[in-house]
Amino acid sequence: MCTIHSTPTRSKDIESSPTDPPLISAQGAKRVFKKAIEIWQNDTCIDFYEHDYGRDRIVVINGSGCYSSVGKVGGLQYLSLAPKCVMVGIAVHEIGHALGLFHTHARHDRDDFIILNAQNFKTNALALQRYVGMVASLIQGTAPNVSVPNGYGGDLCIERVRRLNN
């Protein structure tokens, strides 16, 4: 039985100050975010509740891009959907990050499921070296999702995000 609960918030839940990020307010963005929540609730055992209380909650903002912290940070957790990010697939993707999921291609067991074609990499050896260094710790099997099976159609798989947005 799964009993995970998350609490996205309405903009009235927070008193904004000049230093706070701008809260998302466009009706289209709210509709997209609610559709993304609906997808998570229909496809998983996770429930989201919209209410006016709760110390730990997700706050959707109109930030400078599409991003969220990975996993629970405690308190107000900002999930940014800039105007260019207001698409259901991107919102689903960012909610996945807020829930603690990493990109599918960054998993420690990635090479068991994905074949990297070296010909598709730019010839810049330094960029390739940085990429290899970035995933070195993941190869050790230290990623938190080690026990979760890989899935090509997962919400953190970039191709699935593209399909949800079309």
pLDDT tens track for 10-54: 333 333 334 445 555 567 788 899 999 999 999 888 888 887 677
Instruction: Please tell me the predicted confidence (pLDDT) of residue 36.
Output: 92
Q: How far apart are CA 29 and CA 82, in angstroms?
A: 9
Instruction: Specify the 3-state DSSP secondary structure of 58.
Output: strand
Length of the chain: 166
- 105 annotated among ligand-binding-site residues: no
Q: Which residues are catalytic?
A: 94
Q: Which residue has the tokens 């000049």?
A: 18
In single-letter form, the type of residue at position 88 comes to V
Q: What is the value of pTM for the model shown?
A: 0.60
Which pLDDT belongs to residue 95?
Answer: 92
pLDDT reported for residue 39: 93
DSSP letters for 121-163: S-S-HHHHHHHHHHHHHHHTT-STTTTSPP-TT-TTSHHHHHH
pLDDT score for 6: 44
Q: Where in the chain is the domain with CATH 3.40.390.10?
A: 5-100
* CATH, range 5-100: 3.40.390.10
156 within 8 A of 104, measured Cβ to Cβ: yes
Query: What 3-state class would DSSP assign to 57?
Result: strand
Identify the bridge partners of residue 77 per DSSP, sorted by sequence position. Answer: 58
Specify the pLDDT at position 104: 77
Six-digit token string for 7? 């609490």
Selection from 150, 162, 56 nearest residue 99 by Cα? 56
Q: What is the pLDDT of residue 37?
A: 92
State residue 9's pLDDT score. 38
Contacts of 123 (CB under 8 A, 6+ apart): none
Which segments in the chain show pLDDT lower than 70? 1-26, 52, 118, 120-166
Sole residue written with tokens 């998993």:
107
The first and second tokens of residue 47, run together, are 């429930």
Where would I find the beta strands (DSSP E) of the chain? 5-6, 47-48, 57-61, 66-68, 76-81
- pLDDT at 3 (0 to 100): 33
The predicted structure's pLDDT at residue 152: 46
Is 97 marked as binding a ligand?
Answer: yes
Give the amino acid at 116: L
